[in-house]
Amino acid sequence: MRAPARERGGARDVIVPLPADFRLASGERLNQPNIVGRIHGRAGAPVVVVAGGISAGRFVHRTETNGLGWWSGAVSVRGPIDLSRLQVLAVDFAPGVEFLDKPVTITTGDQARLVALVLDHLKIERVAAFVGCSYGGMVALAFAELFPDRADQLVVVSAAHRAHPQATAWRGIQRRILQFAVDAGRPEEGVALARELAMTTYRTAEEFHDRFETTAPQAVGGAYPVCEYLTARGQAYRTHTTPARWVSMSDSLDRHSVTPEAITTPVTLIGFTSDRLVPIDDIRELAARLPTLWRFVEAPSLYGHDAFLKEDAFVGDILRAAFKDIKS
């Protein structure tokens, strides 16, 4: 359960060559030489795998050289996932943007196998916990189904055992926007527009009501306040990914499927009643079907699916409770 000591200076990258015979469940090969992870926290401490949404990666902690980790509200020194007593392993999801010229069919099970490759490289047979949020929660469930003896517990936030058809409908429209933009020779604009649509599914009607006036522009074609916000979010995201990677990851979300009864690892589930991408009824069904459910907590939130990134105190309390008995 303990990883090799890190290099001086804190976190370090772990670059794992992809085996020549590695194939995805589809039979396809990944056109990249390595899987890259990052170890954070106290050298020699118990290891916790942390995985987030499709835009998340290995930089999970805010003191990294890139300036801001994607889940610094949970992962920090003396935080809920305490880097003074634990190590965190985070991995960049495949496929990597720089190696992808067309979409690839990749499953959450494939991502789980890639995480296992990184653990094997580090000679970590078993981790103290696998914490997954959104897509990362799906990967955590797939990991437990494939590798029942490699994690002491799961903490799954805003994820279920399958994708909901309404979420698939929204993501299907995003994929068609991306393909239309590629065909038109305007891929970055397609990414921006798809991101705008995605933002409307991450958050709630109540939040938009509280944040934005309904003041009409002077003339038709002008931007309403909420549209200005969405346009800014889309423009900021244009260079973050490519249509091929987005389509691959979006399809992976919709392809996700695990059998809850096959998961024997103890599980803590966290869901939000305002989440439209992962409706609370799906998480309730998962909770009812898991044979080793430790705890299921649901709560309201203004932030919908993004609540796992916004409700730091609520999620943090559950994480602290889950990890209180891990011996460092």
Residue 275 annotated among the catalytic residues of the structure: yes
Is residue 83 within 8 A of residue 42, CB to CB? The reply is: yes
Of 275, 282, 301, 306, catalytic: 275
Strand arrangement, sheet containing 12-17: 12-17, 34-41, 87-91, 47-51, 129-133, 154-157, 267-272, 293-299
Residue 148 sits at φ, ψ, to 5 deg, of -65, -15
Residue with tokens 């921006």: 192
Rounded to whole angstroms, the Cα distance separating 314 from 299 reads: 9
Look up residue 171 and give its two tokens: 């993501």
Best CA proximity match to 48, nearest among 79, 17, 99, 3: 3
Dihedral angle computed from the Cα positions of residues 300, 303, 307 and 313, in that order, rounded to the nearest 10 degrees: -70
Which listed residue (76, 134, 158, 248) is catalytic? 134
Angle separating helix axes 243-255 and 135-146, nearest 10 degrees: 50
**∠ CA(310), CA(315), CA(320), 5° rounding?**
140
Cβ-contact 298, 273 below 8 angstroms? yes
CA distance 255 to 26: 11
Whether 305 is catalytic: yes
Task: Choose, from 61, 161, 256, 305, the residue flagged as catalytic.
Answer: 305
- Catalytic residue list contains 164: no
Q: Which residues are catalytic?
A: 134, 275, 305
